[in-house]
Structure 1
Amino acid sequence: MRLFLLTALTMCAFAANSILNRLAIDSGAADPSGFAMVRVLTGALTLAALVLWSGKKLPVLHRRRVIGAGALSVYMVGFSLAYVTLDAGLGALILFGVVQISMFSFTALTGLVPTSRQLIGAGIALFGLAYVLWPTGAVQVDTKGALLMTSAGIGWAAYSLAGRSEPDALSGTAANFVVALPVTAIALKISGMYWQMTGMGFVLAALSGAVTSGMGYALWYSVLPGLSPAIAAVVQLSVPVIAIIGGVLLLGEVASFELLLGAVMVLGGIGLAVGRLPRR
């Protein structure tokens, strides 16, 4: 029960992060590049302060940072640059679809073959997500944006898988953010994007970095050892649905029949993949 509640709280933190991102960028208070930099910076400062305050050390030179911080940087950069040319819904669909494929592939390669229930549940949930997020009208997929979002999905999958072996969730997450900060800054600078940030944009990005990203990612690392890679992949499909429902409740967006039907399919698929059959 505790694992379920912590996992649900983590998914809500990820969804809140998406809402903060939309509030800042859609309103023009911040551009994707500037939002990403402030997000990583405030996340690194907050988590590092918490680790040092608790008397622990930051394992920034550990070999785990190669995958952890590297994957986090790939995710941050790909995610930020992809949304310049991609529709928000289609971008989220590509991201979570790639995460599913990557984590399920890793599961199969390591000998932990997903069960038929997990595969069917993941398929239903992914179909429901596509039903909710697929853009209306003619769909034009920018190749560069799709490749960037694909790299972001692979990066996030690698980051999630790396968390399963992290001995200290808070210290490991803090070190990943600290190491990822200069890497992300250099990559975004090379991309040639100009950063624009208003006061409100900075506040939203800082809240995203310190709370919903920093704390959320640390919480994610704490629950990952209790989840199989297949289950960890499937439960993340709930994030866009939670974010959309949050938009309805907090931003006054309209709840359509398609949203409700898609949400039922996503949650039903997750329930099928995660639930266990009663023993006879």
Structure 2
Amino acid sequence: MQTLKTLVFISLALMAFAGNSVLCRLALGGGLMDAAGFTVFRLLSGALTLMIICLFLSHQTADGITSFFKPTGRQIKGALMLFSYALCFSYAYVLLDTGTGALILFAAVQLTLLLANFLAGKRFVFIEWLGVLLSFSGLIYLLLPAWGTPSLMGFVLMTCSGVAWGLYTLAGKGSEKPLLETTKNFIWCVPLAFLLSLLSFQPNVWTSHGLILAVISGALTSGVGYAIWYAVLPKLSLSQAGVLQLLVPVLAALGGVVFAAELLTIRLMLSAALVLGGIYLVLVSTKSASPSE
């Protein structure tokens, strides 16, 4: 039963990640909102939603809100990583398409976690390396036709976003209260969001559709999705956490088939098989490993 709950949580978190890429690209690629405005409303709506959920689940009164504004060094670091990820993510998607952005993002996440493993003195066994390479090859096979020549600035920004998200994932490995910690991380992003709004205030380019997309991204696919991810991270090794996220671009592509009437191609099916096969190898190879790895 516990394994089923973990699988459900992982699935929900990965679908939220895929949703973020789609929502951000719809808003920014379609010119419905500027990157700074999208980031600000995304973080604000995420902070507000999570605070309400925390208060509701803990049955606290409004006085309990004050507990959210007592940061620790861990919360400040988490907020900085989360803000850096969200800011670079938004600006990158002005320059990149959804598939290319997702490939760069999660490749950077995977490499960040691999490096963290290496610096911690932990080494992958052969079957883990094989699984990671198999998943990478499936992802590249899926997105190669749409790769083209990505913008250099878009590439750099999305790589920075991936590194920040990888570090945010690392921080979540030690999370004891995932919902509360995610809430505080979002809350302490708010001052940074206000500073960003002062530096780049362009309400003339905001549309109602763009605002709705930003709020959905913040409240659901970011706020709730990231809290779920923090809840499941302590049960995963770093190799598992990294390789599982390589499934996100595939989920985004499958979402296009289901919700946008896009074609289910042989390329998509083969890519999904490669990514899933690689994930299976990593999961099997680390099955007996401690969650703290």
TM-score, structure 2 as length reference: 0.87
> Take 1:82 and 1:273, find their aligned partners in 2: how far apart are those partners?
30
In structure 1, list runs of 5 or more residues that go unmatched. Answer: none
Residue 45 (str. 1) matches residue 53 (str. 2):
no
> Take 1:224 and 1:258, find their aligned partners in 2: how far apart are those partners?
31
User: Which residue of structure 1 aligns with residue 154 of structure 2?
Assistant: 145
Map 1:1-280 onto structure 2 (within 5 A). 1=3, 2-53=5-56, 54=58, 55=60, 57-58=67-68, 60-136=70-146, 139-187=148-196, 190=199, 192=200, 194-195=202-203, 196-276=205-285
TM-superposed CA distance for 1:36, in Å, is: 1.9
| Contact map agreement 1:118 1:231 (CA 8 A) in 2 | no
CA deviation map 1:49-77 (0-9, x unaligned) = 22234236326411112321111011011
Relative to structure 1, is the Cα distance of residues 237 and 277 closer, same or farther in structure 2, using a 3 angstrom cutoff?
Answer: closer
| Contact map agreement 1:248 1:255 (CA 8 A) in 2 | yes
SS at match of 1:214: helix
Relative to structure 1, is the Cα distance of residues 112 and 278 closer, same or farther in structure 2, using a 3 angstrom cutoff?
Answer: closer
TM-superposed CA distance for 1:144, in Å, is: 2.0
Relative to structure 1, is the Cα distance of residues 146 and 27 closer, same or farther in structure 2, using a 3 angstrom cutoff?
Answer: closer
In structure 2, list runs of 5 or more residues that go unmatched. Answer: 289-293
TM-superposed CA distance for 1:204, in Å, is: 2.0
Question: Which amino acid in 1 is paired with 2:138?
Answer: G
| Contact map agreement 1:11 1:238 (CA 8 A) in 2 | yes
Relative to structure 1, is the Cα distance of residues 234 and 38 closer, same or farther in structure 2, using a 3 angstrom cutoff?
Answer: same
> Take 1:93 and 1:188, find their aligned partners in 2: how far apart are those partners?
29
- Mean Cα deviation higher: 80-89 or 207-216: 80-89
- Mean Cα deviation higher: 101-110 or 10-19: 10-19
| Contact map agreement 1:78 1:149 (CA 8 A) in 2 | yes
Please give the root-mean-square deviation of Cα atoms over the aligned residues, in Å.
Answer: 2.2
TM-superposed CA distance for 1:277, in Å, is: 9.1
Relative to structure 1, is the Cα distance of residues 185 and 144 closer, same or farther in structure 2, using a 3 angstrom cutoff?
Answer: farther
Relative to structure 1, is the Cα distance of residues 136 and 14 closer, same or farther in structure 2, using a 3 angstrom cutoff?
Answer: closer
SS at match of 1:272: helix
Relative to structure 1, is the Cα distance of residues 260 and 58 closer, same or farther in structure 2, using a 3 angstrom cutoff?
Answer: same
| Contact map agreement 2:78 2:168 (CA 8 A) in 1 | yes
SS at match of 1:174: helix
> Take 2:55 and 2:214, find their aligned partners in 1: how far apart are those partners?
23
Question: Which amino acid in 1 is paired with 2:264?
Answer: A
> Take 1:132 and 1:118, find their aligned partners in 2: how far apart are those partners?
21
SS at match of 2:218: helix
TM-superposed CA distance for 1:98, in Å, is: 0.9
Equivalent residue pairs, number = 277
Relative to structure 1, is the Cα distance of residues 80 and 185 closer, same or farther in structure 2, using a 3 angstrom cutoff?
Answer: farther
